[in-house]
Amino acid sequence: MDGCELSGISNAERKKLTVADFSKMKAQRQRIVMVTSYDYPTSLIADDVGVDSILVGDSYGMVVLGYDTTIPVTVEELLPVCQAVRRGASHSLLIGDMPFLSFQISEEDAIRNAGRFIKEGRMEAVKIEGGREMAHIAKAVSNSGIPVLGHIGVTPQTATLHGGYRVRGKNADSGKRLVEDAKSLEEAGVFGIVLEMITEEMARVITQAVSVPTIGIGSGRYCDGQVLVLHDILGLYPRLVPRFAKRYADLASTIKGAVTEYVAEVRRGTFPEEKHVFKMDDTERDKIDLREMP
Ligand code: KIV
């Protein structure tokens, strides 16, 4: 049963999700489902099974391009990925992740780059990492007419500066700072906030403290929605499996099995078979003397 069947709404009846629907979903306590996608086929599948939103995450740099971190990712790298995802999705809200240094330098630069995600990447919103220190940027982008999703807790682009991938909100002081971060983003006009690797208790407090939906990743059960990196769900990223992610498939093994079989069949000469080949008409073939062929 897919997400559409679960909600009792067929794809034909589904309407395109907007940022306004995100806040309605929070008000109606309907859990928001978000997943990353980096290509046309997985965007088509995610949209078809009924996810509410697709994030073209800068995690693309790690899980697809093989970078060690998300820091090297550029706007130029993400734009064609956004376009491919856009071609596959007709219902989900599409969000482009602004890469490191594409929004921090100045408000003007942030608006210009966010605009590229909308105009060239054909996304409908952008995500910006950072709490109160990025609130002025989130405000400028959102005031320019581009919906912004905030992102606090572990922010991979600045993880090294903030002590790595440590769970946030483990004590009252850091918990209070997270609430302040969330509130400054809310005031800046974001339409939602990703909470990454925040203790379940603090994620719950933040979710109650702000009017915009919270989308958790490694932040427990009380967020308004959840997001996961597609390759973690599919078992397709070999380097690291975060404890908070659930692997719903083991595609790495499936792919390995398929390619191993292909290699063996080519070497044995059992692929291609009769059904895979193209034939000439007998009359045409008879005109060719194979001995004359080079
Ligand atoms: O880049 C990404 O995939 C993300 C999610 C982890 C929220 O930022």
Structure tokens, 155: 């922010």
128 lines ligand 1 (CB under 6 A): no
The pLDDT of residue 6: 57
Bridge partners of residue 126, in order along the sequence? 96, 148
CB of 232 shorter than 6 A to ligand 1: no
**Residue among 131, 129, 126 at smallest CA distance from 144:** 126
The whole-number pLDDT of residue 167 equals 96
Q: How far is the CA of 57 from the centre of ligand 1 (A)?
A: 5
Helices 107-119, 135-143: inter-axial angle, 10-degree rounding? 50
Q: Is any atom of ligand 1 closer than 6 Å to the C-beta of 34?
A: no
Ligand 1 within 6 A of CB of 214: no
| Distance of CA 125 from the midpoint of ligand 1 (Å) | 14
Q: Which atom of ligand 1 is nearest to the CA of 129?
A: 8
List the pLDDT tens digit at each of the 294 positions of the chain: 555 555 566 777 789 999 999 999 999 999 999 999 999 999 999 999 999 999 999 999 999 999 999 999 999 999 999 999 999 999 999 999 999 999 999 999 999 999 999 999 999 999 999 999 999 999 999 999 999 999 999 999 998 788 788 999 999 999 999 999 999 999 999 999 999 999 999 999 999 999 999 999 999 999 999 999 999 999 999 888 899 999 999 999 999 999 999 999 999 999 999 999 999 999 998 888 766 776
Instruction: Indicate if ligand 1 lies below 6 Å from the C-beta of 195.
Output: no
Report how far ligand 1's centroid is from the alpha carbon of 280 (Å): 52
Distance separating alpha carbons of residues 151 and 190, to the nearest angstrom: 10
pLDDT (0 to 100) of residue 159: 85
- pLDDT on residue 191: 98
Mutate to test the pocket of ligand 1, among 82, 127, 157 (most ligand atoms within 8 A of CB): 127
**E strand spans, 93-137:** 93-97, 125-127
Residues marked active site are found at 196
pLDDT value at residue 11: 72
Q: What is the pLDDT of residue 238?
A: 82
Write out 210-257 in H/E/C secondary structure.
CCCCEEEECCCCCCCEEEECHHHHHCCCCCCCCCCCCCCCCHHHHHHH
Contact (CB, 8 A) for 149 and 126: yes
